[in-house]
Amino acid sequence: MNNTNASATQAGFHYQDIVGLILFIDNVTDVQSINVEGEDDIDILFRDGTYGFYQVKEVQNPDNKNMSTKLKEALETLDVDSKNKNLKSLIYVSNANNPLGSLKNSNEFFKPYAYYKYSDLSQKLKTKIDDQLAIHPNIDKNKLGVMKIAYEGSDSMTRESELDSRIHHFIGLMGLSEAHFNNLKNEWRQMIVKTTEFPQTTITKEQFYSHTVVTAMFQNPNLDNFFNECQILPTNEIYIQESYLHYLNRLMENFQLVNSIETNFILFKQENLSLGRQDLMINFINTYHLQLKKDLGLVDDEDDDIAKFILWISVKTYSVTKNIKGVMKL
C-alpha cells in the first residue's frame, strides 16, 4: 500500500468502506441492508430478498495494467457466492483504469465511475473474463458485472471525490442544505466502519434513515428558541445543553422510536385540526413527552425537558424528515 492509501487507512476509512457507502447510496431505494466484510467484501440484501455480492480489489497504482491476479482472486470468491439461491448480482469492483488488464484502444473504465454488465462489455474484454471463467463454470455470466470506482490522489478530498459527489447529490434530493455535508458524511462513515470492524453487524435502511434524520435534526439547534417557546425553567437550561446529545444515540439506534414520533404527530394533527401551528406543537409536546421519556429510559424529573426538546426538534423538522423518508422509499 502506498503512502496515499496508508493515510486513508490511518484515518480508519478504507477504499472498501468508501465503495460500501457509495453502493448503499446508489441503491438506497431498493436496499434492505448492507454488510461490509460479510460473506464477501460487501454483501447487499435487497428488499425483494435477493443478494448482491461485491469483490473489491484496490491497487496502489490505478494505471497498473497487470490485473490478471486481481481478476482471478475476485472470480474465485464470486464463484463461491454464486451458490446462493437468491443471487441477484456478482460484481468485481476496482479502482484500476484497466480492471480486466490492458487492451489496446479500450477506454471503458477510464472514468471516475463505470459499471458494465458482462453482456455490455466489448468482445475482447469478455474474452479476458472468459479465460478465467473456464475454471469457474458455476458463475452465471448474466449476473456478472465489472465496476470501476476511482480512488487516487494526495489528499482525502481527491481520493474521496466519487463518494463526495454522491453525498452532495443525495443531500440535495433529501432537501437538506450543504451545511449538513460534513456531519452526515462522518456519521455514515462511522456506520460503515463499524460493519468492517464487526463483520456480523449490518446496516439496515431503517438504521441508515434514523441516523440520518437524527444527525440532520440536531445540527446546530436553536436552544434559546426552544427555551422560550416551551417555557423551560432557567434552572434546567444548562442541564439540557450539557445532556441532550447523550441521549441522541438511543434515538439514532431506534428506528421504531423515530418513526413513532412522526406517526403520533400525524395522528395528533388529524385529531386537532382547529389548532394553530404553535398551539399544535406545544400541545403535542405536552401530551407525548412523558411517553417519549419512558421510551428513552429517562427517569429524572429534569429529563422531562430532554424529551420535550427532542419532540420540539422533531416537529420543527417534520417536513424535512418526511421528505427523507420519501427519498429512501420507507
Q: What percent of the chain has pLDDT over 90?
A: 81
221 with 137, same domain?
no
**296 within 8 A of 250, measured Cβ to Cβ:** yes
Q: How many CA atoms lie within 13 A of 265 on its CB side?
A: 26
273 with 148, same domain?
no
pLDDT of residue 13: 75
Residues in Cβ contact with 20 at an 8 Å cutoff, skipping those fewer than 6 apart = 34, 36, 42, 192, 195, 196
Q: Which domain holds residue 243?
A: 211-328
The rounded distance, in Å, linking the Cα atoms of 41 and 20 is 9
Single residue among 174, 192, 226 that ends a domain in this structure: 174
**Burial tier of 211 (Cβ tally within 10 Å: 0-12, 13-18, 19+):** buried
Establish if 195 belongs to a structural domain: no
The rounded distance, in Å, linking the Cα atoms of 281 and 146 is 51
pLDDT of residue 303: 95
pLDDT in tens, 212-225: 999 998 888 999 99
pLDDT of residue 38: 75
pLDDT-derived band of residue 199, with 50, 70 and 90 as boundaries? Answer: confident
More confident residue, 197 or 120: 120
Residue 268 grid coordinates: 395528533
170 with 283, same domain?
no
170 with 216, same domain?
no
How wide is the angle at C-alpha 191 spanned by C-alphas 188 and 196, nearest 5°? 125
168 with 229, same domain?
no
Establish if 242 belongs to a structural domain: yes
pLDDT-derived band of residue 12, with 50, 70 and 90 as boundaries? Answer: low
23 with 156, same domain?
yes
Establish if 181 belongs to a structural domain: no
pLDDT of residue 2: 33
CA-nearest of 214, 180, 195 to 296 is: 214
Establish if 74 belongs to a structural domain: yes
Mean pLDDT of 280-304: 95
Q: Domain count for the chain, please give it.
A: 2
